[in-house]
Amino acid sequence: MNKVVKNVEEALVGIKDDMTLMLGGFGLCGIPENSIAHLVKMGVKNLTCISNNAGVDGFGLGLLLESKQVKKMISSYVGENDEFERQMLSGELEVDLIPQGSLAERCRAGGAGIPAFYTPAGYGTEVAEGKEVRIYNGKPHILEEALTADFAIVKAWKGDTEGNLIFKATARNFNPMMATAGRITIAEVEELVEAGELNPNDIHTPGIFVQRIFKGEKFEKRIEQRTVRQK
Amino acid sequence: MNKVVKNVEEALVGIKDDMTLMLGGFGLCGIPENSIAHLVKMGVKNLTCISNNAGVDGFGLGLLLESKQVKKMISSYVGENDEFERQMLSGELEVDLIPQGSLAERCRAGGAGIPAFYTPAGYGTEVAEGKEVRIYNGKPHILEEALTADFAIVKAWKGDTEGNLIFKATARNFNPMMATAGRITIAEVEELVEAGELNPNDIHTPGIFVQRIFKGEKFEKRIEQRTVRQK
Amino acid sequence: MALDKVGIAKRIAQELRDGWYVNLGIGIPTLVANYIPEGIEVEFQSENGILGMGAFPFEGEEDADLINAGKQTITARKGASFFDSATSFAMIRGQHVQLTVLGAMEVSQNGDIANWKIPGKMVKGMGGAMDLVASAENIIVAMMHSNKAGESKILSKCTLPLTGVGCVKKVVTELAVLEIKDGKFHLIERAPGVSVEEIISKTEGELVIPNNVPEMVL
Amino acid sequence: MALDKVGIAKRIAQELRDGWYVNLGIGIPTLVANYIPEGIEVEFQSENGILGMGAFPFEGEEDADLINAGKQTITARKGASFFDSATSFAMIRGQHVQLTVLGAMEVSQNGDIANWKIPGKMVKGMGGAMDLVASAENIIVAMMHSNKAGESKILSKCTLPLTGVGCVKKVVTELAVLEIKDGKFHLIERAPGVSVEEIISKTEGELVIPNNVPEMVL
């Protein structure tokens, strides 16, 4: 089942104003940077973006924020972005902050047909406001609902023509769950190989979850906190 | 963090009468056969066994049933075992039959600190009796609770001294979820290697979930339905 | 003439569409894989943890670690992937599988299905059937119209413990293709040479007969 | 004399036990990894998806795809594994991580912690902190006793939006080690040369002082 599309233009066809997008990545690690750059070019507006972070000023989702294409962010941590903070504090941008584990699990649930689950995270905090509380094992838990998106856009290291994906190191992060939760899932990959070249034991995201795959033109892979030791 | 124990005797220390065990495998594929054989030798009784299937007459969990060590089975399909059927119909054996996907998800939930979740599986059937029903996306779902065990016993293809596991082909099945849901998790592996020999990208079960690992003495790997075509 | 099992499988295979992921149950449904219409590509999912299931292995090449949900030895196609049971049912529950074909002991006119238990007699368990029928958008049942005693299994109401409610969309038997809609069976096609009268006589549930009931073309 | 950040990290490192999996938050907690007591082995989990986190890379060997939860470039130890965020929080929520060390803006005597938000001023998000504090059995907070204005952050009741309730077991500051028990802070140790009186004066929450308060041995 060939899922290959020619390029980012073809991959992103159908993304329209007011849609909900999931975007993989943690910080700038494992983000679909080619797709994000093209979303800016497309100029789609009023997007709801589900992404653990919101990029930085001038890179990643920061680009979409600067061009004011985002109506609402659903994230766990947005601390690296001045423009984000400005838009949020001024009320231009709606923001829904979610505990990171709940965000990951809600995306997984969305892809797995689990409409809701109980978690202890956030009990007793403002995250729990308006949410059902139930005691399990003597501990209060809150009910969290699944998240899905019109499009999920993920970035993988290797992918094959059938849409099977392998991620590298910690660039895996949110990508596998989000890949399951998009009505249409788009994967941009560093290396695109023929079906059969990836070991079926090693595949992180089976192709069934991916509708379109393309080789990204250029991966800058910017590092947020270059931290080193001396030899 | 070295998790290696010498042999099956050492691995199974602490398993006692009346405990709840999870045992990986689907049919006879990917079952911890060395551990099962040793459980028979140990003679522990009144076990509650959580396992997708109940083995066959004379192999797998069938051995534990024959020696009447099992008080209760929690499974999704038990159709290949005459002794099982006899004990169940005569009332000697308690049986809790659970939809396979719910069983898998309940084990995952047990390991992941999710005490309960909603699923559509089983709504309107006897599986739903006494369970809470809630409508999501216009469809009724039932509330299912997490499963955990005193010991989880899984079988992997390769494992390293830190307890990292890689499964082969469809012998993966229930093993990864069960590995997360045991208070103590024991892994028997075909091949035991040094830490660092497995690619960290390819690990299916991170070592944090495994408390004891050993190389199984002998793997018969019996085939239930040998189905072939002619060349 | 009534169809044999292969005939039923062939007719169901006509329902396949290009690009679909398909889960085939044990028995007649498994045979569907042998009759994929030319020019389309489908991928088979087996709930024990494989996508891209291939043919049975050549003799001597069986691998105990590579089986399907019926515990039969299989092979993996190019581009296959293996995964755990939780991921497998995430695919199923999350409606990533476009078609599910399974057998049944009874089907009722509102789409209920019973296929896992005969109280006091056969209690093998539901396996993955309850997850499949509760989640799949598109369920086709492959079954015989009547049981061995000659009693209809196409019913106004199931008598056996249910596997799922209101979920079956289509039934293919040795006699007919039935669509379930508005709480009734609709006769869509009849097996070659089988009369509408025979189908009526063997169907206990409410049956809607259009003016023209074409014969299946296999 | 009050401890510096390294001193706090060293004291917390004494709490490590052989065989523990440990999650270290950003800031002072990260430093704990540098002072693992001799003869014990611990493994560090970072919630963005690595178990077996190693030292920072040598210059020129940074990998953009290998970072910790603080977005710093790191390395992987032998025996490390990578996994997705859902699996990572399955480890955390499922209590497979034996110790969590994190920073705080405020801690209260019943174990509440606030560390993610100053309304109208700083709204960066909670990241994984809420999952960590809600699930961990063993949480140690590394923090300064007072804020820059000299006000105590060791409180009878938190004033900032909470991250979690009743979850903190131990607090290590530049002045003291405090245990939280029965709704009170218990002074366990004081920093070398720091008087009990100073600790009392800088602690707003209810403080239980035993007869003998030993100095930390670093």
For chain D, 218 residues long, the average pLDDT of each consecutive 10-residue run is 95 97 93 94 97 95 96 96 98 97 97 92 90 94 95 98 97 98 97 96 97 95
Kindly report the backbone phi and psi dihedral angles of residue B155, in degrees, each rounded to the nearest multiple of 5, phi listed first: -125, 125
Provide the pLDDT for residue C122. 76
Provide the pLDDT for residue C71. 95
Residues sharing a CB contact under 8 Å with residue C179, sequence separation 6 or more, in sequence order: C169, C170, C185, C186, C188
Task: Check residue C33 and report its DSSP letter.
Answer: G
In terms of DSSP bridges, do strands D207-208 and C113-114 run parallel, antiparallel, or are they unpaired?
Answer: unpaired
Task: Check residue C56 and report its DSSP letter.
Answer: P
Provide the pLDDT for residue D50. 98
In this prediction, residues B137-153 reach a mean pLDDT of 97
Provide the pLDDT for residue D25. 92
The answer on pLDDT for A80 being more than 80 is no
In this prediction, residues B13-27 reach a mean pLDDT of 98
Q: What's the one-letter identity of residue C43?
A: E
> Which of B135, B201, B204, B205 is best to mutate for the A interface (most A CBs within 10 A)?
B201
Provide the pLDDT for residue C200. 97
Gap from D9 CA to chain B (nearest CA, Å): 22
Q: Does A216 touch chain D (CB under 8 A)?
A: no
C84 contacts B104? CB cut-off 8 A: yes
**Of residues A138, A150, A50, the one with CA closest to residue A100:** A50
Chain C residue numbers with beta carbons less than 8 Å from the beta carbon of A112 are 86, 89-90, 93-94
d(C-alpha A208, C-alpha D151), whole Å: 56
Chain A residue numbers with beta carbons less than 8 Å from the beta carbon of D124 are 77-79
The answer on pLDDT for A86 being more than 90 is no
C125 contacts B76? CB cut-off 8 A: yes
Q: Using one digit for the tens of pLDDT, what is the confidence trace for C200-218? A: 999 999 999 999 999 999 8
Q: Do chains C and B touch (3 or more CB pairs under 8 A)?
A: yes
**What confidence category does residue B103 fall into, taking pLDDT thresholds of 50, 70 and 90?**
very high
Q: Subunits with at least 3 CB pairs below 8 A relative to chain A?
A: B, C, D
Gap from B112 CA to chain D (nearest CA, Å): 4
Q: Does B61 touch chain C (CB under 8 A)?
A: no
Cβ proximity of D135 and D185 under 8 Å: no
Q: Of A180, A195, A203, which is closest to C94 when you measure between CB atoms?
A: A180
d(C-alpha C49, C-alpha C136), whole Å: 17
Q: What is the set of active-site residues of C?
A: 47
d(C-alpha D100, C-alpha D26), whole Å: 11
Residue B46's alpha-carbon distances to B20, B151, D43, in angstroms, are: 9, 14, 37
Residue D155's alpha-carbon distances to C10, D145, D146, D195, in angstroms, are: 74, 10, 10, 19
> Which chain D residue has the Cα nearest residue A219?
D64
Judged by phi (left if over 0) then psi (alpha if -120 to 50, else beta), residue B138 lies in left
* Residue matched to tokens 């709840």: B20
In this prediction, residues B80-108 reach a mean pLDDT of 92
d(C-alpha D3, C-alpha C100), whole Å: 65
- In the sheet where D106-108 sits, what is the strand order? D113-114, D106-108, D154-155
C93 contacts A114? CB cut-off 8 A: yes
Within the 109-128 window of chain A, which residues sit less than 8 Å (CB to CB) from chain B? 109, 112-120
The answer on pLDDT for B84 being more than 90 is no
**Is this complex scored with an ipTM above 0.95?**
yes
Q: Of B114, B161, B164, which is closest to D81 when you measure between CB atoms?
A: B164
Provide the pLDDT for residue C201. 96
Tokens of D204: 């707003």
**Of residues C175, C2, C9, the one with CA closest to residue C101:** C9
Provide the pLDDT for residue C159. 97
Q: Of B195, B201, B208, which is closest to D21 when you measure between CB atoms?
A: B208
> Which chain A residue has the Cα nearest residue D74?
A227
For chain C, 218 residues long, the average pLDDT of each consecutive 10-residue run is 95 97 93 94 97 95 96 96 98 97 97 92 90 94 95 98 97 98 97 96 97 95
D146 - beta bridge partners?
D152
Within the 164-183 window of chain B, which residues sit less than 8 Å (CB to CB) from chain D? 164, 180
**Of residues C18, C162, A98, the one with CA closest to residue B122:** C162
Tokens of C195: 């009369």
Provide the pLDDT for residue B185. 98
A119 contacts B118? CB cut-off 8 A: no
C79 contacts A162? CB cut-off 8 A: yes
Provide the pLDDT for residue A213. 98
Residue C10's alpha-carbon distances to A120, A133, B116, C33, C154, in angstroms, are: 51, 52, 42, 9, 21
**CA dihedral sign of residues C81, C87, C89, C94:** negative
Chain B residue numbers with beta carbons less than 8 Å from the beta carbon of D79 are 1, 160-162, 164, 195-196, 207
Q: Which of D15, D47, D174, D189 is catalytic?
A: D47
**Of residues C35, C152, C30, C6, the one with CA closest to residue C102:** C30
d(C-alpha A173, C-alpha D82), whole Å: 9
Percent with pLDDT over 70 in chain A: 100
**Of residues B161, B160, B2, B196, the one with CA closest to residue D80:** B196
**What confidence category does residue A83 fall into, taking pLDDT thresholds of 50, 70 and 90?**
confident
Provide the pLDDT for residue C53. 95
Tokens of D121: 């001023």
Tokens of C88: 């497998």
For residue D169, give the 3-state DSSP assignment: coil
Percent with pLDDT over 90 in chain B: 92
Task: Check residue A207 and report its DSSP letter.
Answer: G
In this prediction, residues B215-227 reach a mean pLDDT of 96
Q: Does A51 touch chain D (CB under 8 A)?
A: no
Q: Of C57, C69, C165, which is closest to B228 when you measure between CB atoms?
A: C57
Provide the pLDDT for residue D123. 80
String of DSSP letters for B12-49: TTT--TT-EEEE--BTTBT--HHHHHHHHHHT--SEEE
Chain D residue numbers with beta carbons less than 8 Å from the beta carbon of B180 are 90, 94, 96
Q: Do chains A and D touch (3 or more CB pairs under 8 A)?
A: yes
Gap from B143 CA to chain C (nearest CA, Å): 14
Gap from A180 CA to chain D (nearest CA, Å): 12
C123 contacts B125? CB cut-off 8 A: no
Cβ proximity of C141 and C172 under 8 Å: yes
Provide the pLDDT for residue B199. 98
In this prediction, residues B105-111 reach a mean pLDDT of 98
> Which of D81, D92, D98, D132 is best to mutate for the B interface (most B CBs within 10 A)?
D81
d(C-alpha C117, C-alpha C102), whole Å: 15
Decide: residue D149, CB within 10 A, 0-12 exposed, 13-18 middle, 19+ buried.
exposed
The answer on pLDDT for B80 being more than 80 is no
D79 contacts B161? CB cut-off 8 A: yes
> Which chain C residue has the Cα nearest residue B102?
C131
Chain C residue numbers with beta carbons less than 8 Å from the beta carbon of A161 are 79
Average pLDDT, rounded, for chain B:
96
Provide the pLDDT for residue D120. 80
Chain A residue numbers with beta carbons less than 8 Å from the beta carbon of B113 are 119-120
d(C-alpha D93, C-alpha A132), whole Å: 19
Cβ proximity of A206 and C87 under 8 Å: yes
**Of residues D203, D119, D120, the one with CA closest to residue D162:** D119
Q: Using one digit for the tens of pLDDT, what is the confidence trace for A129-170? A: 999 999 999 999 999 999 999 999 999 999 999 999 999 999
Q: What is the pTM of this model?
A: 0.97
Provide the pLDDT for residue B88. 86
Q: Of D19, D92, D94, which is closest to B180 when you measure between CB atoms?
A: D94
In this prediction, residues B55-73 reach a mean pLDDT of 94
Q: Using one digit for the tens of pLDDT, what is the confidence trace for A169-201? A: 999 999 999 999 999 999 999 999 999 999 999
Q: Does D35 touch chain B (CB under 8 A)?
A: no
> Which of B93, B100, B106 is best to mutate for the C interface (most C CBs within 10 A)?
B100
Provide the pLDDT for residue A149. 98
Q: Using one digit for the tens of pLDDT, what is the confidence trace for A8-67? A: 999 999 999 999 999 999 999 999 999 999 999 999 999 999 999 999 989 999 999 999
Q: Does C71 touch chain B (CB under 8 A)?
A: yes
The answer on pLDDT for B59 being more than 80 is yes
The answer on pLDDT for B57 being more than 80 is yes
